[in-house]
Structure 1
Amino acid sequence: MPAHDIELTEIAVPDFGLPAMQPSVSAQEYTQRVAQVRTRMVEEGLTHLIVYGDREHFVNLMYLTGFDPRFEEAMLILGQTGHPRLLVGNEGFDYAQKVVEIEHTCTLYQSFSLLGQWRDTSSPLRMILEDEGIEPGKRVGTVGWKSYDVRENPHPPTCIEIPAYIVDILREAVGERRAVTNAGDLFTHPETGFRITNSADQLAVFEFGATFASQGIRNMTEQVEPGKTELAIVEEARLNGLPLSCHPVVNAGPRAPQLGSPRLRAVEIGDPFMMAIGLWGGLSARAGFVVHNESELPISIQDYVEVIVKPYYAAAVAWYETIGIGVTGGEIYTLIEEMLADHPFRMALNPGHAIHLDEWVHSGIYPRSTCRLSSGMALQLDIIPMCDDEAYFTINVEDGIALADASLRSKLSEKHPETWSRIQARRQFMHDTLGIHLKEEVLPFSNMPAVLRPYLLSPHLALRVNR
């Protein structure tokens, strides 16, 4: 898709609507997940799995239980048989009784509580582990939120990121350092991880979050005004209390390139502007300038749309039209790299990644990647240009999609017709109005799908393909 086929023109974006029903993952699916993990444990020679979580790094734990630690830490001990045991702190104990979706044993472990709270009624962790059969001769996998390779450690499986005292006690219990290993890849490997492919119900949950996140961005892009503060602009997003996957980003002026939080700074004409909202399952981001048109930009960058925006959008269109089941991450990376090669900017990060309840799970989109994209994946278009001349700032049109084969599409449409209706309306808009031709398996989750408005004081102007 050459940049000269891209035009900036008046575009009316339909109202795709907001959810009237909130999808959820069933207890049966959570139970199936535990069974699938246990099968892999046997295949990997693991007798036990320790899944650790805290307020920031909770998704692997929640994937198996439906529980997220709100103030504290928590840990699931999963053997090959029997009820899993969930260890929680003082404030997590009652919450766990209400939300955990699997048959389990809930144990109060007060060392996971906040400092200064009671710690006098819990058994020692070593004793709890012994009760679960973690003893000499056993092999334990730990799951936190990261995995490592030889760049971090000559023996990567022993490189573990959960709290050191837990690892020390585990290794003392089994009697061999290398019998306790990092098993995070079971959940987050970019091709085979459990959390990389998703059911129809889970995708509907993601679309729910992505819809509200993207609508928030859409609301803000339509309400930027000189004199309005960054904090006031965030109020236009109408965030409704759904859990965030990252801090809201609204930065203008000198702070625009940063990922900081909004402040009580009034937006001015000519400001560069960055915004992002991430909720569980979806993130949308946009960037541009607080101007009506190029005449309000500095003379040196009045060619911003021609030099930066159009080539960037052409690459985004190519991403949308290439992404699909069976495509490798390496193919996507090479495509974007080649499309940007002759332009005065480069990619800041991978041009796409997997998303879940956390904003970035992993990315199989990197140079020479052989990771194949498959049905059930939820992915972000995340092409972030770094301009050679900082005066041009950047541009961004990040949104989320899912890949779904015919079977998964059928399940999604049958079980979640409201979700499916929004997806189909977005696909039609992208095809008919923006000129972006998606493969049938590509399901857009954003309420402003591929809508890029570089001049924030002219929200009626957006990019499209002139076919």
Structure 2
Amino acid sequence: MSCVKIVNTDQFFFEEQNVPRPIFEEKDYQVRIDRLLKEIKSDGLDFVVIYGDREHFANIEYFSSYDCRFEEGLLIISREGEKSIVTGNEGYAYSFQIPYEIKRYLYQNFSLQGQPRNKSNDLDSVLRSVGLNKKSKIGVVGYKYFYEDEKHIFDLPQYIMETLYDVGDKDNIINYTNVLTGLDRGIRLKITTAKEVAWAEYQAIKCCGVVKRIICNLREGITESEAAQCGRADFSPISMFGLVNFGPKNVSIGLRSGDDTRLHVGEVCGICYAIRGSLCSRNAIAAYDFDSCNSKLKERIEDFYMEYWKAVATWLESVKVNESAGIVYDKVMSIIGDARFNVALNPGHNTATDEWVNSPFYKNSKYKICSGSYFQSDMIASSNDPVMSAICEDTVIVADENLRSEINKEYPELYARILRRQTKMRNLLGINVDDSLLPMCNFTGAYFPFVLNPKVMFKKNN
């Protein structure tokens, strides 16, 4: 007998919530910059040069609020704390949103093809104006570091690296990305203030609200595009493309955007929405109950969908301060690690304004979960015969007593919401989360196997 049962859904999970949006100010970014300066000085560097583009914006945005749109960009920070930003034509005006004093440089080759190129110096001159020279020890931040050689393989465009080698000394230039996103030292992997938690909650509530509204409006014959419109998403910047997929073909493709495909009762379906700071996803069956599932899927509710959600519940119960990420991996994969589930990616990962930053969850991982860890409960199970997909993904933060105390002091209403969510997860879902596991929205862990009937859901049969 499965340890998962189907119960009636409490209205708590579908409450519409509206919370104030925290606005990051100069002092908030300075806290982050100070953390970077500590590392720069410890490593004996003179400058850190941070690259960004439309897709890879998060490292620059973290320290400045500036996210590259259309163009490439560079944020340069010296060991003395001087800050410079290099943009193309359209990014120059946009950079004035940065909430602190910063030197601005126009480099028009960062602009889109065909735009004017007649008003800026070359990149060599710009970098020299910032202060880089042959004696400078320079850390370069791209978007990835490479396990084969973390310090000497780079993912920046070649023309930027060649200019850096010309202005500086190649022997004094290292890949510094690991210091921002690496599992050992990554500055961006750790939330350090109550305000950052409040911002994450705001994003998670907004994100899961879209998914909830779509689920509540699903019906036989609705198209993927029509369903997406029911989410009432605003124009908040996204961290991945929204997904509404109906039927085995579309669901099996995965990362496809919706079209005019219609929902048929009994088939698989998937919904996913993400804005910067949170992703919410549910893949299950477009049915009302067992009898309305197609015959092949009906046979797999217990050994596929219930077992999958048992793994999700296990992850949520296991993730806590000082727990080994390797142990979490083993617990989860002991449930969904066989060929039935075809789990190809890590069970859970770090998140931020970019959806996937890194992941400590892998076999024999040496890493312990630290306070401030900012995670997605991301486990994807799938099958090809019959086509099945199970996803129950939400955003959580891990916080020790000190961070929880800070949240309670600075954002008491937020802290009360967190405590209420923990209680509901324990009582209504049977998921005994640790006090250090902070759910960022009411939807956390809630899974509706028959998405046309969200009045029923899974619960652990403790």
- TM-score (ref. length: structure 2): 0.95
> Residue type of the partner of 1:319?
W
The reply to whether residue 232 of structure 1 matches residue 226 of structure 2 is yes
- Give the equivalent residue in structure 2 for 1:453: 448
Q: Which residue of 2 aligns with 1:396?
A: 391
Alpha-carbon deviation of 1:342? 6.0
Distance 1:118 1:81 in 2: 34
The 1-side partners of 2:297 and 2:47 are apart by 59
1:408 alignment partner, one of 395, 400, 403 = 403
Q: Could you tell me how far 1:315 is from its partner in structure 2?
A: 1.1
Q: Is the 8 A contact 2:203 2:275 kept in 1?
A: yes
1:443 to 431, 438, 441: 438
Give the drift of 1:433: 0.9
The farther-off stretch of 347-356 and 126-135 is 126-135
**Aligned residue pairs: how many?**
458
How far did 1:256 drift?
1.1
- 1:107 maps to what in 2? 105
Separation of aligned partners in 1, 2:145 and 2:388:
33
| 1:353-432 equivalence runs, <5 A | 353-387=349-383, 389-432=384-427
Partners of 1:280 and 1:418 in 2: how far apart?
Answer: 23
Which residue in the other structure is 2:68 paired with?
69
Deviations 1:345-391 (A, max 9, x none): 2422100001101111100111111111111111111111133x531
CA distance in 1, matches of 2:440, 2:16: 12
1:81 counterpart residue number: 80
Matching of residue 116 in structure 1 with residue 114 in structure 2? yes
State the shift of 1:156 in Å. 3.7
- SS of structure 2 residue aligned to 1:4: coil
1:261 maps onto 2:285 in alignment: no
Answering whether residue 215 of structure 2 is matched by residue 216 of structure 1, we say: no
Amino acid of the structure 1 residue aligned with 2:180: F
Secondary structure (helix, strand or coil) at the match of 1:145 reads coil
Structure 1 residue 138, shift from structure 2 partner? 2.1
| Contact 1:191/1:364 (<8 A) preserved | no
**Partner-residue secondary structure (3-state), 1:349:** coil
In the TM superposition, structure 1's runs of 4+ consecutive aligned residues that sit over 4 Å from their partners are none
Residues 300-311 of structure 1: pairs in structure 2 closer than 5 A: 300-311=296-307
Alignment of 1:35-434 (within 5 A): 35-81=34-80, 83-97=82-96, 99-150=97-148, 155-176=149-170, 178-198=171-191, 199-253=193-247, 254-257=249-252, 258-341=254-337, 344-387=340-383, 389-434=384-429
Deviations 1:222-247 (A, max 9, x none): 22111111011111111022111111
* Superimposed CA distance per residue, residues 320-364 of structure 1 (whole angstroms, 9 cap, x where no aligned partner): 111101012111111111122467224221000011011111001
How far apart, in 1, do the equivalents of 2:11 and 2:358 lie? 31
Letter of the aligned partner of 1:250 in structure 2? V
Q: What letter matches 1:291 in structure 2?
A: A
Q: What is the CA distance between 1:255 and its match in structure 2?
A: 0.7
**Which 5+ residue runs of structure 2 have no aligned equivalent?**
none
| 1:25 positional shift | 2.4
Identify if the C-alpha distance between structure 1 residues 13 and 347 changes in structure 2 by more than 3 Å, giving closer, same or farther.
Answer: farther
CA contact (8 A) 2:240 2:274 kept: yes
Counterpart amino acid of residue 74 in structure 1: G
State the alpha-carbon separation in 2 of the partners of residues 333 and 20 from structure 1: 34
Distance across 1 between alignment mates of 2:27 and 2:242: 34
Secondary structure in 2 matching 1:34: helix
- Secondary structure at the aligned position of 1:256 is classed as helix
Partners of 1:13 and 1:448 within 8 A in 2: no
Map of 1:23-38 to 2, 5 A cutoff? Answer: 23-38=22-37
CA distance in 2: counterparts of 1:163 and 1:344, whole angstroms: 41
**CA 1:425 to 1:343, structure 2 compared with 1: closer, same or farther past 3 Å?**
farther
Deviates more, 1:439-448 or 1:296-305: 296-305
> Structure 1 156/20 Cα, relative in aligned 2: closer, same or farther at 3 Å?
closer
In 2, are the aligned partners of 1:171 and 1:179 still within 8 Å (CA)? no
Contact 2:251/2:389 (CA < 8 Å) preserved in 1? Answer: no
Between 225-234 and 110-119, the greater mean CA deviation after superposition: 110-119
How many angstroms apart in 1 are the aligned matches of 2:113 and 2:415? 46
The residue number in structure 2 matching 1:462 is 457
SS of 2:306's equivalent in the other structure is: helix
Q: Is 1:191–1:373's contact at 8 Å kept on the other side of the alignment?
A: no
1:182-202 per-residue CA deviation (whole Å, 9 max, x = no partner) reads 111111012421111112111
Aligned alpha-carbon RMSD (Å): 1.7
> For structure 1, which runs of at least 5 residues remain unmatched after alignment?
none
CA contact (8 A) 1:53 1:60 kept: yes
Note if contact 1:454-1:462 (Cα within 8 Å) is conserved in structure 2: yes
State the shift of 1:71 in Å: 2.4
Cα-to-partner distance string for 1:241-286 (whole Å, 9 max, x where unaligned): 2111111011111111221111112211222111110111110100
**Counterpart-to-counterpart distance in 1, 2:184 and 2:456:** 38
What's the CA shift string for 1:274-305, capped at 9, x where partnerless? 11101111101001111122223332332221
> Residues 163-208 of structure 1: CA distance to partner in whole angstroms, max 9, x if unpaired?
11000110122232x4222111111012421111112111211111
CA contact (8 A) 2:54 2:69 kept: yes
